[in-house]
Structure 1
Amino acid sequence: MSTASRFDTFLKNITVTSDQHASALTSANAIARKLHGHYSNKPYSDDCWMIIGSYGKGTAVSPPRDVDVLFFMPFSDYHRFNGYKHNGQSALLQELKGLFQERYPRTREIGGDGQVVVVDFSTGHTVEVLPAWHRKGGGLLVPNTHEGGSWQHVDHKAEIAHVADSDARTNGNTRNLIRMMKIWQKHCSVPIKSLVLELRSVTFLSTWAHAKASTTYYDWMVRDFFAELVEKANFQHKIPGISDKKQYGDAWLSKAQSAHRRAVKACEYEAEGGQLDAVLEWQKIFGRQYEL
């Protein structure tokens, strides 16, 4: 099997199926209907919510991960929670958590970024619910419970467009690269944020010589992406749509260096016709979803 054929199979293995995608949308819609029934007396409409994160950006991978749902709250509730003397943002998440717990017992607050409520569905999907308000001047306001609570400016539509525009310019290579890097992230337990992988993928492909090429070049693409990534430890990048910058950190650096070394070896084996040896190196990076 050729290099291109193996990467084609790998991409097929890691892309969510139509059934998985439908299940994600069903779970997200159930959450939105629950919130709409509590916070609005208007007829239900899909305009009250949107899918963000990997499903919104078209970069979701299989096995499925979290489904991120943005729910647009009435502005009267913003004033209600903003009026709290201490951490109205936490009170907001606790209120949402309480709404879900009776119907969905496996509901919890996430401890990581302090912005969402997490609902675990029996189907295997985990829905992360982010309440939001439209912000005057563009973007959205979302809760941040850290350091006493605050409202954070985000623009998920700009993040989605950032990936989509790059994907259109690169004949689909942007989303494929992001998906592959997410598999590396999970398989090798790499402590790197998915947003960092997205920002780096778009930036890398904006200058890479073979950005529009077929999967024949994917061994080089992975190798060269890792080569550039290891040079960006402690770098920062402007987040699309807002003025904030994403800090990369460096906790992931040693694993990126290891992945680069293995990708270099794999490319050498590919060039020499050592198919089995190449596959073994790719599997150290991506796991068994990369097949011979």
Structure 2
Amino acid sequence: MSTASRFDKFLSNIKVTNNQRAAALTSVNAIARKLHGHYSNAPYTDASRMVIGSYGKGTAVRPPRDVDVLFFMPIHELARYTGYTRNGQSALLQDIRRLLLQRYSRTEIGGDGQVVVVDFATGHTVEVLPGWHQRGGGMIVPNTHEGGSWQHVDHNTEIAFVADSDSKTNGNTRSLIQMMKVWQTHCSVPIKSLVLELRSVEFLTEWEHAQSSTTYYDWMVRDFFAELIKKANSWHMIPGTSEKKQYGDAWLSKAQSAHGRAIKACEYELADRPLSAATEWRKIFGGQYEF
């Protein structure tokens, strides 16, 4: 099996299935429908919510992770929560939690700083982020940390950031992000998925083989790790906002280890030793990368 064939198979193994995607959207719509029914008398439509995160960006992987949904709050509710003398953001999330407990009384529901987390017995988790549209674009969403604050986000711009890059790179942007998420999980790498997304887009902006086929994926993985290592403790502006995403360096040693293994794997690929190459790739990506 060639380098390209093995990476093609790997990508097939890690992409979310149609059934998994359908199950995720069923849960998202059930949650959004419940909230919409409380806040509005109008018939429910998908316009009441927006799927964000990996499902919204087309970068979700198996096994399924969190499904992120942005629920659009009615504008008249904003004044009530901004009127709290302390942490109206927490009050908002608690109200959302109580509403969802009416629908999912036997489901684990908790809060996590910005979102209400709903754990389904099917194995996936939905993270619900309530927010309001802002003039000029983006949303205002809650952050309960440090006494509470309101944060500006622009998920449409984040999604477009990945989609535009993917269209310019023959689909390689989403593939690279998905492979790095598998590395993140398999090697327990303490790096945020948003960092992997930002770095993947920026890396492919300058990589000379950015539009090439999966024949070059061994080099792409190797060179991405090399670039990532150089960016330890750097930062990137979050698309559509003025907020900086700090990278940190807690992940650095694992990136260095993965880079060393990728170098070996590329050498084995060049020497036509596919089993040795695959052994090294499996150390990075786990069993979903097949011999």
Could you say which TM-score interval applies, normalised by the shorter chain? over 0.9
Structure 1 contact 93–109 (Cα < 8 Å) conserved: no
Q: Within 2, Cα distance between the matches of 1:17 and 1:132?
A: 29
Q: What does residue 200 of structure 2 align with?
A: 201
Aligned residue number for residue 154 of structure 2: 155
Match of 2:2 in 1: 2
Corresponding residue number in structure 2 for 1:109:
110
| Secondary structure of 1:251 counterpart | coil
**Alpha-carbon shift at residue 273 of structure 1 (Å):** 1.2
Instruction: Output the amino acid matched with 1:69.
Output: V
Tell me the equivalent position of 1:73.
73
User: What is the percent sequence identity of the aligned residues?
Assistant: 73
Deviates most, 256-265 or 92-101? 92-101
The residue aligned with 2:182 is 183
Give the match for residue 250 of structure 1: 249
Does the 8 Å contact 1:100/1:107 carry over to 2?
no
Letter of the 1:129 counterpart = V
Q: Give the SS at the match of 2:70.
A: strand
Superposed, 1:28-177 pairs within 5 Å as 28-104=28-104, 105-111=106-112, 114-177=113-176
State the alpha-carbon separation in 1 of the partners of residues 283 and 206 from structure 2: 27
**Inter-partner Cα distance in structure 1 for 2:68 and 2:7:** 28
Task: Indicate the SS of the match to 2:103.
Answer: coil
- CA drift of 1:267 comes to 0.3
Question: What do the CA deviations read for 1:198-220 (whole angstroms, capped 9, x no partner)?
Answer: 00000000000000000000000
Q: May I ask how many residue pairs the two structures share in their alignment?
A: 290
TM-score, structure 1 length as denominator?
A: 0.98
38-47 or 15-24, which deviates more: 38-47
- 2:127 alignment partner, SS class: strand
What code does the residue aligned with 2:18 have?
S
Runs of 5+ consecutive residues of structure 2 not aligned to the other structure = none
| Alpha-carbon distance between aligned partners in 2 of 1:43 and 1:110, rounded to the nearest angstrom | 28
Q: C-alpha deviations, 1:213-234, integer Å up to 9, x for none?
A: 0000000000000000000000
Secondary structure class of the residue paired with 1:13:
helix
RMSD over aligned Cα atoms:
0.8
Unaligned residue ranges in structure 1 (runs of 5+): none
Looking at structure 1, the residues matched to 192 and 90 of structure 2 have their Cα atoms a distance apart, in angstroms, of 23
Paired AA for residue 62 in structure 1: R
Instruction: Check whether the contact 2:108–2:120 (CA below 8 A) recurs between aligned residues.
Output: no
Report the secondary structure of 2:206's partner residue.
coil
Distance 1:246 1:110 in 2: 22
* Cα shift readout 1:12-50 (whole Å, capped 9, x = no counterpart): 000011111111110100000010011111121211101
CA distance in 2, matches of 1:169, 1:136: 30
Q: What is the CA deviation profile of residues 39-70 of structure 1, one whole-angstrom value per residue up to 9, with x for unaligned ones?
A: 11112121110100000000000111110010
d(CA) in 2 for partners of 1:72 and 1:230? 38
| Letter in structure 2 aligned against 1:76 | H
What is the one-letter code of the residue matched to 1:132? G
Instruction: Give, in angstroms, the shift of residue 103 of structure 1.
Output: 2.6
